[in-house]
Amino acid sequence: MRLLFVGDVVGRSGRAVLCEHLPDLRQRWRLDVVVVNGENAAGGFGVTEAIHQEFLDAGADAVTLGNHAFDQKEAMSFIGRQPRLLRPLNYPPGAPGRGAAVVESRTGARALVVNLMGRVFMDALDDPFRAIDVELEACPLGRGCDVAILDFHAEASSEKQAFGHYVDGRASLVVGTHTHVPTADARILNAGTAFMTDVGMTGDYDSVIGMAKEEPIRRFLKKIPGARMEPATGPATLSAVAVETGAGGLATRIAPVRIGGRLAPAAPDFW
């Protein structure tokens, strides 16, 4: 199967580049499953129901979130009626929404998509390692699903890498999100799981992790609260990772994807 995971969409500029390119990529690369992280899509903080639908209409099969999952107040109500919108699985019991879903590809294959959040330098949520054990036991790769795509939303590279090795052989793809800078380590781990420490953001890189530069710089200099952070609005780069899977749902090939904006372009050479 052919999988595409698109990194954190930041603001209007990120939404524009995603919606410009995803429909063409979906058709040209004959993608089976597309997952988009949308937790910064609404003004940099959270997602609205309308934006979630915009991503589905552009070709996403599921939208994942992270620490900004509930920044938009309306998310508390609409997330429960959107089965393909996922907040972190390891939120405490009783949190609205869901952390995992099985979506059907256009060829009828079953894709397990899971969103989890790390705990190093992040909110103190439940243990993501134990949470994924329960989920993968309930829906094992090759039996409960044909592919398994895990979005690990975390700050520390060490935690992301430890998580990737922990589930190696039990998932098709483990991709890190949250830090908004693409890493150069896209690879297939020893037991067949595709991994990338951070896929990067889909947004304007002439910024401070997607936000207009002036306010973040001022905060570092003055160390006092100021104006609200606002997303940068220049030309954005679509940052993603492409994966191909073989028998049993494990990865056979992986490559970074970068389209538009300020970063050097990258695309898989196997499609």
Residues that are catalytic: 68
Query: What are 250's two structure tokens?
Result: 């494990």
Query: What are 217's two structure tokens?
Result: 């710089």
Strand partners, 62: 35
Name the 3-class secondary structure at 130: helix
User: Cα separation of 266 and 140, whole Å?
Assistant: 32
Query: What are 20's two structure tokens?
Result: 């410009």
Burial 87-112 (b: 16+ CB within 10 A, else e): bbbbbeeebebbbbbebebeeebbbb
Burial 168-185 (b: 16+ CB within 10 A, else e): bebbbbbbbbbbbebbee
Quick one: DSSP state of residue 126? S
Q: Which amino acid is at 187?
A: R
Quick one: DSSP state of residue 122? S
> Strands 33-37 and 62-64: what pairing?
parallel
